[in-house]
Amino acid sequence: MRILFVASECVPFIKTGGLADVVGSLAPVLAQKGHDVRVILPKYAAIAEKYENQMHHVIDFEVQLGWRRQYCGIESLEMDGVTYYFVDNRYYFGRNYIYGLGGDEYERFAFFARAVLNCLPLIPFEPDIIHAHDWQAGMVPALLRIQYSHLPAYASIKTVMTIHNLQYQGIFGIRDVQDVLHLPDSVFTDDKLECHGAANYLKAGLVYADEVTTVSPSYAEEIQTGYYGERLDGLLRAKRDHLTGVLNGIDTVEYDPSTDPSIAQRYSVEDMSGKAANKRALQEQLGLEVRPDVPIIGMVSRLSNQKGLDLVDYVIADIMREDVQLVVLGMGDSRYVNLFSWAEQNYPGRVAARFAMDHDLAHRIYAGSDIFLMPSQFEPCGLSQMISLRYGTVPVVRETGGLRDTVLSYNDYTGAGNGFTFFNYNAHDMLHTLQRALHYYHDRKDVWKTLRERGMSGDYSWRHSAEMYISLYQSILPGEQRFTQPVQGDPHEAVPQAPAKKPAAKKAASKKEAKANDPHEPKEKPAKASAKPAAKKTTAKAAPKAGDPHEPTAAAAKAPAKKTTTKKAAAKSTDPHEAAPAPKKPAKK
Ligand code: GLC
């Protein structure tokens, strides 16, 4: 299959969160299985020069957004069997931030979506599947269906939309969006792009994609409820037959304590002696008291409300009354920067906080800590708990989303479990669960050893989940497209894929299969409390902008339905507002 990932971030080029890890680690795994996988993302100024130097110019053309005509370059490089395309426009992506500050996100990611669709007939790649990730790519499935799918070059493309975090939706003024994307009033109804008076890019993707996925089976269920649904639960319930939870994997090569070049001493489940050396090195590096007997609680996290840090805030004095050390690494809200800065001052030699994106330090925290704390309010999947398990660091987590699917609380009667969990969003429940973990750390060393070994032996790879994506893609393609296409120069043999299940049967099967076969799926679950978690979220959504300076465009969005036969010709008729994408020299400044 030919698969195009559309995403706003991807390791190793650019990362603000787990989305980048997932896109960057799943793509090569699918490629290894013989598929032609390509990823397209914006060419941000922050992408390291060493990657920029490897890029070559594929094509450039102009993209029309309302009255604006914008240069669009497509650069590319190849790595680990995957071709990466970078959408180049300095005005939109040459800024000193990735998201948010300019007030024109609707325009930046409208440009991105338009650029992705318009470049397709011009680059040597005709995808069977476009897999869009998060709201920044949400307009791709929508525009494809509304404005492009009658054109031969686009007619057979199927789309998958993945939600990595439902809280971020890309909500903008309808007139702003109409102005840049030439969309008619008829698509701004509440069954399409409109959402509580605004235009919603994520919703656009969810409505128009052929299949929707999210990043864990539990989150797929949770987002159909009012508590977790972020005002889209109704839509998600309506789409439930086309909504699948596919648990993320981690990059098991990068996160491998037996080969990790970032840590003080390598270790494995057969020989865990190196773990103590890593603890010592971490204490030394961060100026903590060097004591082998004191448990270190590690946190590597975006410092946001999602991560449950207000629970930590509430009981930090109680936590620190225990004989523990606390290590925090992350960037984010000033409230939590202040909290952990204060704690570092107040508990010298016992708390260390670093507010940065520090890849090496993150690895050292996973390796050197004893307990990993992740009390998230909601967690679509979460990767850190899986990385901790792999490093023999015992997770203490709240039972939500992917945390619930990967961490099973230790049960003293059955001996099952790989960590410690609590259900209610309640600071004292978290505190007591931490204390329970400390009890096993100090007084039940046999259990602690088992938990570590169990964590380190788990399978957190993409093996199973990559297969689930492949069968999902296959289920939406017509029969003849379900075979791997040999690509010129592709080192992999064409491997015929197993025939897909019928879409209707697929749903039930894949959901059940996800539960039964998923190695990360806890086998026994504590009975789910029927009460809602204690604290209710207050979701501040960006209000739609008032006073659109641009007139709404009356132009019909439909391109002339003329049949075109050649790829180039198709490109020209793609968008009536689009300048003919004549290749020319990049207008780099
Ligand atoms: C987002 C979610 C996180 C998930 C990641 C990758 O960052 O908050 O839970 O693991 O996306 O899917």
156 CA to middle of ligand 1, Å?
Answer: 30
Shortest-distance Cα residue to atom 10 of ligand 1: 382
Asked if domains 2-249+501-517 and 273-457 share a fold, the reply is yes
What DSSP string describes 157-196? -EEEEEES-TT---EE-HHHHHHHH---GGG-STTTTEET
What DSSP string describes 204-246? HHHHH-SEEEESSHHHHHHTTSTTTSTT-HHHHHHTGGGEEE-
Structure tokens at 301: 């996290």
Q: Over its length of 589 residues, how does the chain's per-residue pLDDT go in tens digits?
A: 999 999 999 999 999 999 999 999 999 999 999 999 999 999 999 999 999 999 999 999 999 999 999 999 999 999 999 999 999 999 999 999 999 877 999 999 999 999 999 999 999 899 999 999 999 999 999 999 999 999 999 999 999 999 999 999 999 999 999 999 999 999 999 999 999 999 999 999 999 999 999 999 999 999 999 999 999 999 999 999 999 999 999 999 999 999 999 999 999 999 999 999 999 999 999 999 999 999 999 999 999 999 999 999 999 999 999 999 999 999 999 999 999 999 999 999 999 999 999 999 999 999 999 999 999 999 999 999 999 999 999 999 999 999 999 999 999 999 999 999 999 999 999 999 999 999 999 999 999 999 999 999 999 999 999 999 999 999 999 975 554 444 333 333 333 333 333 333 344 344 444 443 344 444 444 333 333 444 333 333 333 333 333 333 333 333 333 333 333 333 333 443 443 333 333 333 3
**CB contact at 8 A, 86 and 43:** yes
Pick the CATH number of 2-249+501-517 from 3.40.50.300, 3.90.930.12, 3.40.50.2000, 3.90.15.10: 3.40.50.2000
Q: Give the pLDDT score at 119.
A: 98
CB atoms within 10 A of CB 356: 10
- Find all residues with CB under 8 Å of 484, minimum gap 6, and list them: 1, 34, 35, 492, 494, 495, 496, 497
480 CA to middle of ligand 1, Å?
Answer: 34
Q: CA distances (Å), 17 to each of 23, 168, 474, in order?
A: 11, 13, 29
214 CA to middle of ligand 1, Å?
Answer: 9
Q: Quick one: which atom of ligand 1 is closest to the CA of 162? A: 12
CATH number of 273-457: 3.40.50.2000
Kindly list the protein residues whose Cβ atom lies closer than 6 A to any atom of ligand 1: 17-19, 22, 164-165, 215, 248, 379-383, 402
pTM reported for the whole predicted model: 0.83
Q: Quick one: which atom of ligand 1 is closest to the CA of 379? A: 9
Shortest-distance Cα residue to atom 3 of ligand 1: 382
Where are the domains positioned within the chain?
A: 2-249+501-517, 273-457
